[in-house]
Structure formats: C-alpha cells, structure tokens
Amino acid sequence: MSIILRDRITTPAAWIGGDFKEDDSWIHALSQAEIAVLDAALSGLEARGRTFPHFTRDDFPLGPLEAVLARCADDLLNGRGFCVLRGLPVERYSDTQIDTLYYGIGLHLGEPVGQTPRGDLIGKVMAVGDPDDKQTRVYETNLYLPYHSDPSDVVGLLSIRKARQGGLSSLVSVAAIYNEILENHREFMGLFYRPWYFSHLCEDQPSLSPIFSVREGRLSCRYLRQYIELGHEIMGQPLSRVEIEALDLFDRMIALDHLRIDMMLEPGDLQFAYNYAVLHSRNAFVDHEAADKTRKLLRLWLKMPDTRPLAPEFPGRNGFPVPAGAY
C-alpha cells in the first residue's frame, strides 16, 4: 500500500463545519442521573481516602455513563474525531474534587500521560506566559492560538472559567484539509509527507516528523507551524522558499471558513479531540482583571488503548514520562 494517499477521503473524519448545522450529535448533555453517578464515584473515593491521581478506572465506576464514554471513544478513533460532554457543575466542587472527577472521566477513555518534564497529569491552560518569548508554549498566552495538534493521542479540555471576551474554541478536520489541498494544490502534496524538524515533541531537541502520514489507508497529521519554525531554527536548518510556501498554503487551507466548527466552551464543558484526525485552535481573548475570574481550562493528554496504527516515520507521541515520586 502506498505511503501517500491519492484519492479524496470520504470517511466520517472528512467533515466540514456545515455538516453540523443541523447535527449536534457530537454533544452529550450530562443528565442529573449521570451527574449523580459522578458524585457517587467521587464520594466513594473520598470515603476510602483516595484522590487524584491515586486510583484506577475500576476504582471509579460510572455505570450508564460508561456507555456514553465508550461511544465518545469510538467517535474519536473511528468517527468525526471529537466529542463534547456538557454540563459538569464545576462550581459545586473544590479544585481537588475537579481534578479527581476529570481524571476519573479520562481513565474511561484512555491513560492520562505527563504534559511537562515534571510529569503534570492535568495542565492549566491560562494566560501566564510571555508572548514575545519563542520558548513560551502557545497556550500560555491570551493571543490567537493557531491550529495545531498536541503530542498525545487525545487532548481533553475542561472549561472552568470563561474569558471576559473571546476565547472561542475551534476544530478542523485533517481529512478536510487534505481534500482541499488534493483538489486545488496537488503539486504541494509531497512536501507534507517529507520530514520536518518539530520542537516541543516532549524531547530535549527537535526531532523529525512528516506533517501528513498514512498507515493502513488512514491519514494522520502533526502540525504547529511555530514549533516547526523553532525546530528548524534550533537545528540550524533554515526553511527553504518552497517549504515556506507550502506552510503558507497549509495555513490558508486551515483558515478556510467553511471547514471549521467553532464552539464556546462554557464552564463545565469537556471537549475531547483525536490529535491525528483533528487540529484545534482558539481565538484571542480579553481576560478579567480579578485573578479568581481569569479564563481557566484544564487539559488532559490521553493515550488510547486502541489508537490507530502509525507509520515508523510518524511515531506516536504520548507526553513526558512521569518521574518517580511526582505524586
């Protein structure tokens, strides 16, 4: 089988934003009964003196909600590549309880992995970094966050607080981007299958990876332009004119209005996206002045037990090793 696709992708993963104008099946609103199941699982852990992350999936039974999460996992791996759970009443829980609930839900989808060299299993997505420093992780600012994939099978975001203005979440299908390039700019396609240096792949130095990769007929993608540019800069390998033109094209295809789906993650919404099939972004935002009201999301990176096979030149990335004694 070829390592390069030649035909248009027509699977459910090749969606465009307009497909969801009359379809909200990707949203599951948590019922009061399902919230009660989560509360019971939390209470059971607390009664045994267990909190995040010192428990397993079996310690956190979710009854009928397990079937909902199984459908979400199937959508991630074999369907559209994303799902949203809506309505977790985050205001009623302490920070420790929220971490425990979020981690417990994550365990029913996959294995949470480290997000920093310290091995943080839950990341705080807040505007705390210097936007003028190239080493600043892009999610640590309030600027526009370009479309990208994270170095894990799945990325989860739980909204705790919204910004005063902006911060809209956006998703785009990798297969839809591919279809646009195939139809209108086929001459660039080979460049996206060649290796590029990526920084911030949970390694000390940039490493090589293609942007597009195919295994067993399924297209996967890894992308964040800032980290490609930084990777080539660190390695002393300047991008050529044609490579820059190819990245410019990729960015234009991502930005096509009809491809994306936008959503405001309200407090209590949980969004999960499969990094090989979906790129995610958010627009710039203006934060509240009071520190206890600033925009805050919690992030999970998950390793999926049945993730798709990946080509040797496109190795899976699943965070940082969690150091012994980190928790």
Which pLDDT belongs to residue 135? 56
Give the start-to-end residue ranges of the domains of the chain: 17-303
CA of 142: how far to CAs of 217, 272, 277, 281, 299, in Å? 38, 21, 25, 12, 16
pTM: 0.94
Would you tell me how many other CB atoms lie within 10 Å of the CB of residue 124? 14
| Predicted confidence (pLDDT) per residue in 44-91, tens digit | 999 999 989 999 999 999 999 999 999 999 999 999 999 999 999 999
Q: Strand pairing of 169-173 and 278-282?
A: antiparallel
Contact 158, 297 (CB under 8 A): yes
Question: Is the pLDDT reported for residue 2 higher than 90?
Answer: no
Tell me, what DSSP letter sits at residue 36?
A: H
Which pLDDT belongs to residue 238? 97
Which pLDDT belongs to residue 198? 97
What mean pLDDT comes out for the span 19-44?
Answer: 96
| Predicted confidence (pLDDT) per residue in 219-256, tens digit | 999 999 999 999 999 999 999 999 999 999 999 999 99
| C-alpha span between 192 and 253 (Å, rounded) | 13
Which pLDDT belongs to residue 141? 76
What mean pLDDT comes out for the span 14-42?
Answer: 96
Q: What is the mean pLDDT of the chain?
A: 94
| C-alpha span between 137 and 275 (Å, rounded) | 17
Which pLDDT belongs to residue 130? 57
CATH 3.40.47.10 for domain 17-303 = no
Ramachandran angles phi, psi of 44, nearest 5°: -65, -40
